[in-house]
Amino acid sequence: MAEQSKIEFGNKVPLVDSYGRAIKNVRISITDKCNFRCIYCMPAEGLEWLKKDQILTFEEIERLTRLLVRMGIEQVRLTGGEPTVRKDLPLLVKKLSEIEGLKSLSLTTNGYLLKNLAKPLADAGLTRINVSIDSLVRDRFFQLTRRDSLQQVMDGLEELEKHPSITPIKINAVAMKNFTEQEVVGFAHLARRKPYVVRFIEFMPLDADEIWDRDKVLTGDEIRAILEREVMPLELVPSLDPAETSTRYRFIDGVGEMGFINPVSHPFCSACDRIRITAEGMLRTCLFAHIETDLKTVMREGASDEVLEETIRRAVWKKEMKHFINDGEAFKRTKRSMSQIGG
Ligand code: SAM
Ligand code: SF4
């Protein structure tokens, strides 16, 4: 670490952890608030929201992003809570998209506000998007999100298609046992009919209501078996990026791609290149971390970029080796839920 922290500011010394993983990817939560109440994430009554002065300002987010890009971060994803509920989101996207050296700027959203935001976001320089949809059936969508909003989300997707500078359009569905099985074929047809890559992500123990247990996880392999049986065989799409979280398959006739993010059944921690910053500026080096580093206070106490950089490097050096979801008693839930981290 001594060597790591002594680098001169501005040097392109890679941002690495003690296991040799280079960090290229940051997910920045820009709000903890949300207009949905997905059962695998938030309680029906919501959570206690942060106050305005507790969350990072656009200037603080821009400063951090600029610094992280100079330290080797290539990809920035804005998330939340629901990032589209943050006022003036396109303004932030514009500021970040102008940062030299940033290769990809993306957004993860529930899609509810996309119909009006797709154009401003495209104009501001957003390059990629993930829209979360767990069901293509109105009442089942309501059952999961506690909001009757499937149509608004689908309208938002249609609008996105008019802005080809935002590509690819990815759809993320959380895969839960005894629910998602009935959605798989519908999503396959959507991926074959539309220019959307559909990805299933295994349910993780990050829900505020703590309903997660292993038996509620529908694994990627189980979903793939359904697709092979009920739609048609799939072939693996080779990936050139070892840090890619999703394993990609395309239907054997070449029409439609499905992805599987399997953090529970096939952990990918050894290739993890991600860090996260929560809405209130806590740096987290793992989704399941128990330790955080308070970057907001460091910035608000007037730290120079050099001090901020050293704080980040020291925290990243201690990035967790792996998650412990599969290690029985060794696994302890983190006190934050997904919406309070930034998925
Ligand atoms: N509100 C936005 C959305 O839903 O896309 C962005 C924030 S949300 C926390 C980010 C992603 O985390 C979404 O794709 C959501 O489905 C996923 N997610 C939330 N809770 C999860 C859980 N317990 N397990 C797996 N994925 C989860
Ligand atoms: Fe909101 Fe996203 Fe969590 Fe659903 S998953 S409650 S949309 S933050």
**135-185 per-position pLDDT tens digit:** 999 999 999 999 999 999 999 999 999 999 999 999 999 999 999 999 999
Give 1 Cα–ligand 1 centroid separation in angstroms: 34
Give the residue numbers spanning the domain of 328. 4-341
Residue minimizing CA distance to atom 2 of ligand 1: 109
- Which residue's alpha carbon is at the smallest distance from atom 8 of ligand 2? 81
Q: What is the pLDDT of residue 328?
A: 83
Residues 306-332 have a mean pLDDT of 92
| pLDDT at 7 > cutoff 70 | no
Among candidate residues 211, 263, 275, 250, the one with its CA nearest the CA of residue 64: 275
CB 85 within 8 A of CB 113: yes
CATH number at residue 235: 3.20.20.70
Share of the chain above pLDDT 70, in %: 97
What's the mean pLDDT in 220-239? 97
Instruction: Indicate which atom in ligand 2 lies nearest the CA of residue 174.
Output: 5
Greater confidence (257 vs 242) lies with 257
Mean pLDDT of 92-106: 97
Sorting pLDDT into bands at 50, 70 and 90, what band is 11? low
Place of tokens 């932030």: 92
Residues contacting ligand 1 via CB (< 6 Å): 34, 40-41, 79-80, 82, 108-110, 132, 172, 174, 201, 203-204, 206-207, 338-339, 343
pLDDT of residue 242: 83
Q: Kindly report the number of other CB atoms within 10 A of residue 120's CB atom.
A: 16
Tell me how far apart the alpha carbons of residues 7 and 219 are, in angstroms, rounded to a whole number. Answer: 43
Rounded CA-CA distance 325/342 in Å is: 19
The DSSP bridge partners found for residue 25 are: 75, 274
Strand 75-79 and strand 274-277: pairing? unpaired
Q: Does residue 264 have a pLDDT over 90?
A: yes
Quick one: which ligand is closest to 201's CA?
1
In the block, tokens 């296991």 appear at: 19
Q: What domain count does the chain have?
A: 1
CB 101 within 8 A of CB 131: no
Instruction: Report pLDDT digits (tens) over 188-221.
Output: 999 999 999 999 999 999 999 999 999 999 999 9
Question: Backbone dihedral region of 269: left (phi > 0), alpha (psi from -120 to 50 degrees) or beta?
Answer: alpha
> Residue 78 CA: which ligand is closest?
1
- What pLDDT, on the 0 to 100 scale, is given for residue 213? 93
Residues with CB under 6 A from ligand 2: 34, 36-38, 41-42, 80-82, 110, 132, 338-339
Query: What are 138's two structure tokens?
Result: 């109105």
pLDDT at residue 208, as a whole number: 94
Is the pLDDT confidence value at 3 over 80? no
Find the radius of gyration of the CA atoms of the chain. Answer: 20
Mean pLDDT over 10-30 rounds to 90
Q: Please tell me the residue having the least CA distance from ligand 1 atom 10.
A: 343
Strands (E), 6-157: 25-29, 75-79, 104-109, 128-132
